[in-house]
Every structure is written in C-alpha cells, then in structure tokens.
Amino acid sequence: MGDQTDREALRARVEELDAENRKLKDEQTGRDADEKKPLKARVRTSAAIALVLIGALLAPVAVLGTWARAQLVDTDRFVQTFAPLAQKPAVQRFVVKEVTSGIEQSVDIDALVGDLFAGIAELNLPPTAERTLPMLEGSAAEGVRSLIGSGVETVVESPQFANVWQVTLRETHSRAIAVIQGDPNALLQLSDDGTLSLSLAAVISEVKTRLTDQGVGFAESIPVIDRSVPILASSSLALIRTLYQLVVAIGYWLPWVALGVLVAGVLLARNRTRALAWAGGATAASLLLLAGGMGIGKLVFIGGVSPSIMPAATAEVIFVQLTELIASTLLALITLFLLVMLGAWFAGASHRAVALRGLFDSGFAAARRASDRRGLSTGALGRFLDRWRSALGGAAVAIGVLVLFLVRPITFGGVLSTLLCVVALLCLIELLRRPEREVADPLAQSETEGEVPAETVVVRAELVDQNAEAADNAALHTRHVERIGGGTAEGDGLAVTVNVYIERL
C-alpha cells in the first residue's frame, strides 16, 4: 500500500516537473521570438529602403536608355528628332557658310575671273576700256562669291532643302540600321567577325529584271545567286553591333526593372503608404538630378564644339533639339512621381491627410444622399462598388501606370491625360458606391447634415404627438402605482419600470 502511494506521488511529481518544464520552454520560446522580431523588422526595413534607392537610381539610366533605343531602332523617331534642324535659322546659317566655303575651296574663283578678263582683253578693246578692265576684276570676283552665297542661302532656306534633308536622314538611318541588324535584303551585310560585304544578290536580281524588260531571252535563265564581295574588315564594326544590341536591350527592359524594384521595395516595407511616398520623392529627386546634369552637359557640349567646329548658337540649337525628347520625358516622369508621392501622403495616417480625406468623404456622402433623394440610387451596383472599392481603385491606378510605361515615349500631355482619367474614374466610383451604413440608416445620415425630407418631418411630428399622449398616460399610471404601493419596494420597482417605458418612448 505504501509503495503504491509512493509511486503515485512520484508520478504526480514527474508530471508537475514536466508541466513546469514545458512552461519554461514556452516562456523561453516567447522571449526568443520577441528578441528576433525587432531584428526581422530591421532587416525588412533595410531591404525595403535599399530596393527603393536602387529603383530610384535606375530611373535616370532607364530614361537615357529608352531615348537611345528610340533613336537607334525607330527611323521615324530619328527623323522626327533631327529633321526640324533644317528649319532652324542658326543651323541654316551654318550650312550656308559651310557650303559656300566648300565651293570656294573647290573652285578658284579668282583664277576663273582672271581668265575671263584676260579673254576680254584680247578682243582689241579701246585703250580706255583696257585700262579700266583690271580695276573691275576684283569687284567681279567678289560679285561671283556673293552670287554663290545668295544662291546657296536661297536653296537652304527653301522647303525643298528641308525635304532633301529629311529624305537623306531617313535613307541614311534605315540603311545603317539594316546593316547593323543584319537585314538579308540590304545591299551591305555585316558578319559577326566584323567583315562588311556588298551583297550581289539584289544587284543581280535588278540586272535580270532590266534585261528581261529589254527582251533579252536568256535573262530568264539567270539563277538566284547569293554572293557577296568583302569591302572592309574591322573588329570595331562587330563592337558597334554588340553595343547596339546592348543599348536596345537596356532601353527596353531597364524601365521595367526599375519599376519592379520600386514596387518590390514598397511591398516589402512595413508601412507601405509611407514607403510609396518616399519612393515617389526619391525617384523624382534622381530625375531632377538628371535634368541638372543635362544642363551641365549642354554647357560642356557647346564649349567643346564652338567656335572651332560650329558657332555657339548652332551648337545650342542642335543640343536642345537632340535632347528635346529626354527633356519632355523627364518633365512627365517628375510630375508623375511627385503626384505618386502626393497621393501616398493623402492615403497615409497623418492628421492632415486624415482630415483632408474626411472632407472629401463628407462631400461625396452629401452628393450620394442628394442623388438618392432624387431617386438616382445605384442599388446593387453601388453595394458592389463599395465592397470592392479598394481593389477597383488600385486597379485603376495600376492600369494608368502600365499605360504610361507601354505608350512610349512618356510625355507631359500623356501623364496629365492619364491622371485626369484615373482621377475621374476614382471620383465616379465614390459617387456610385453605396456604403452599408448609408443604405441602412438614411434618416440618421440626413439628420447629421440637417437635411430631413418633408415626409420624414410629418411622420416624426405624428410620433411626437403619440409619444406625448403615451407619456401623459404613463405619468397618471405612475402616480396611481405610487399610491397603491405606498412607497414599498414593489411600488418603487413599478414606478421605475414605468419611467423607463416613458424614456424609451
């Protein structure tokens, strides 16, 4: 009997110690979790900050890559960039000067005029004319130079010159791109080892067509000959193709990479609205730095090419025209990310943001109530929009951002039009949605604003009259109960019951 008792006591003690051990383990596990939680939070925050900074720093590089890709791949964009230079007065003056100088260097005007006057002198002119003729030779040479200059100026300033300029740009760019991209139909072919060859296939095909048109019978039997003649071999040509492919790839993918890194940083952050605001501000700041760098680059470019190569005015016009697309893209993106920062602040938890959201919510709520009073309730659609309000708003913003990134290049007008569309869609959702609290208690919402419909006033007046009559009857009943009860506990309880009934009425 004693052994049985000892075993039970020992078993109870073991169970007690085991329970205490589990309790200590749980407490230790909780302390370890509490110690690890701040560390995980710090790592998460640091990673989010790093991703946001990387995305912000990649944004300017993505802008430059997109611009370079557009100029290299798109012939229409290239022509659109450089064709307007033919109509710039500073560029026209530079072209006139260079063309005139080239003509004068290629043609000895003084010798031509001298030969002309020498021939005139052999015509047995009168003595007075022979003495006067040498005096006119210098003026005649200057007249010829002036005539050449005015003729060149007339041509350069004409619309025909602008058309020739545009056609030349298009043909040059398309042929160069055909060679770099390895177009099989191009006359020039660039191999991977840097050998530039002339393809004879197109030439032979043209010769065959001409001979057939002229009635040469054997021309039909000329086969398709795929032959090329090497013209130039250089490793630099292969390097040019490699750089071209690299720039094209960077220009297409880097904007998406930068956007993905920014989105990942925002999603990883603990406070996503604050992270989104910082991401917008940081990206706008990096793009502003690029805009400042372009201003410095403009000064460096003008100082490097003028006056040795071209006048400063011409260099400035060329630089501005060349970077016009980058400037407009920067303006659009800076505006976009500043708006993102402002929108994130508006959605945040700061006191001013909450107050401003409350102001807008009150305005939309008043508009919804006014619409309902006039029989324009949205019913089930409004409840659906209210239930999915956050998802629909996020989808609208995401679609707007995707549209801006897909329709390149990004322009200031495109940003404004997309922004207006997104804001209009969000406002439409706010006006059409019907929150459950507004549908369940429209009278309370109306009283909050001090606007009670006439029908409600009539019903309320009838209820007030009924309540007054019931209160009078209840008061008489209370006094009767008090007289019956004589101040007993039961009478006090009846009186309290009746008073509660009156208050509820």
Question: How would you write 69-82 as a 3-class SS string?
Answer: HHHHHCHHHHHHHH
d(CA 237, CA 32): 63
| 32 falls within a domain | no
Asked if residue 447 and residue 354 are part of one domain, the reply reads yes
Instruction: Return the bridge partners of 189, or none.
Output: 197
**Helix H segments across 306-388?**
312-322, 324-346, 351-373, 379-387
Q: Which of 452, 467, 496 is the last residue of a domain?
A: 452
Stretch (H or E) spanning 119: helix 109-121
Q: Collect contacts of 242-248 with beta carbons under 8 A, ≥24 apart.
A: 244/72, 244/180, 247/65, 247/68, 247/69, 247/72, 248/69, 248/72, 248/73
| 141 falls within a domain | no
Backbone angles phi, psi at 360, to 5 degrees: -65, -40
| E strand spans, 143-206 | 188-190, 195-199
Asked if residue 458 and residue 386 are part of one domain, the reply reads no
d(CA 40, CA 43): 5
| 439 falls within a domain | yes
| pLDDT tens by residue, the chain, 505 residues | 556 666 776 777 777 777 777 777 766 665 555 555 577 778 888 999 999 999 999 999 999 888 888 888 888 888 888 888 888 888 888 888 888 888 878 778 778 777 777 777 777 777 776 677 777 777 888 887 888 888 888 888 888 888 888 888 888 888 778 777 776 666 666 666 666 665 656 666 767 677 777 776 556 666 666 666 565 666 666 777 777 888 888 888 998 899 999 999 999 998 888 999 999 999 999 999 999 998 898 898 888 888 878 888 888 888 888 888 888 888 888 888 988 898 888 888 888 888 888 888 888 888 888 888 888 888 888 889 888 888 888 888 888 878 877 776 677 778 888 888 988 998 999 888 888 777 655 544 444 444 444 444 444 444 444 444 444 444 444 444 444 344 444 444 434 333 433 333 3
- 186-240 pLDDT, tens digit per residue, is 666 666 666 666 565 666 676 767 777 777 655 666 666 666 656 566 666 677 7
Asked if residue 426 and residue 367 are part of one domain, the reply reads yes
Asked if residue 361 and residue 421 are part of one domain, the reply reads yes
Residues 277, 56 contacting (CB under 8 angstroms): no
Chain centroid offset of residue 357 CA: 26
For the question of whether the overall pTM of this predicted structure is more than 0.95, the answer is no
Q: How many domains does the chain have?
A: 2
Q: Which of 452, 472, 487 is the last residue of a domain?
A: 452
Tokens of 302: 């003008």
- 479-502 pLDDT, tens digit per residue, is 444 443 444 444 444 343 334 333
Asked if residue 426 and residue 380 are part of one domain, the reply reads yes
| 390 falls within a domain | yes
Asked if residue 409 and residue 432 are part of one domain, the reply reads yes
| 188 falls within a domain | no
Asked if residue 447 and residue 362 are part of one domain, the reply reads yes
pLDDT score of 395: 87
Asked if residue 469 and residue 430 are part of one domain, the reply reads no
| 140 falls within a domain | no
| 396 falls within a domain | yes
pLDDT score of 477: 43
pLDDT score of 489: 40
pLDDT score of 229: 57
Asked if residue 356 and residue 427 are part of one domain, the reply reads yes
Asked if residue 496 and residue 434 are part of one domain, the reply reads no
pLDDT score of 216: 61
| 478 falls within a domain | yes
Which residues form the domain of 473?
454-504
Tokens of 467: 């309540």
Asked if residue 424 and residue 364 are part of one domain, the reply reads yes
pLDDT score of 198: 59
Asked if residue 403 and residue 355 are part of one domain, the reply reads yes
Q: Which of 416, 435, 452 is the last residue of a domain?
A: 452
pLDDT score of 496: 39
